[in-house]
Amino acid sequence: MTGQSYIEHITKEGDRWDLLAWKYYGDATRYEEIILANPDLPIIPILPSGLKVLIPVSDTPSPAIDAGLPPWVSYG
């Protein structure tokens, strides 16, 4: 990971790997990049609050996103 740049994200209640990928990359399927950058963190569906997660800065262009949530997330 030498030379790689990261953004530090402190988790909040309800954070998930896919939601972090959506937030930072605009693509929820890129969660694996974040998991690989954080080998000491638990790979569980919902992350506990207060964890420091390193988000790799990517040169891969992200699709244009609106500020909303992924289409499969809904709150009733």
Token pair listed for 14: 């309800």
Confidence of residue 17 (pLDDT cuts 50, 70, 90): very high
Task: Answer whether residue 73 shows pLDDT above 60.
Answer: no
pTM of the model: 0.74
pLDDT digits over 37-60, tens only?
A: 999 999 999 999 999 999 999 876
Residue 17 has φ and ψ, to the nearest 5°, of: -55, -45
Q: Tell how strand 6-10 and strand 52-56 pair up.
A: antiparallel
Q: How is the chain split into domains, by residue range? A: 6-56
Question: Which residues have C-beta within 8 Å of that of residue 16, sequence separation ≥ 6?
Answer: 45, 46, 47
DSSP strand E in the chain: where?
A: 6-10, 52-56
Question: What does the mean pLDDT of the chain come to?
Answer: 85
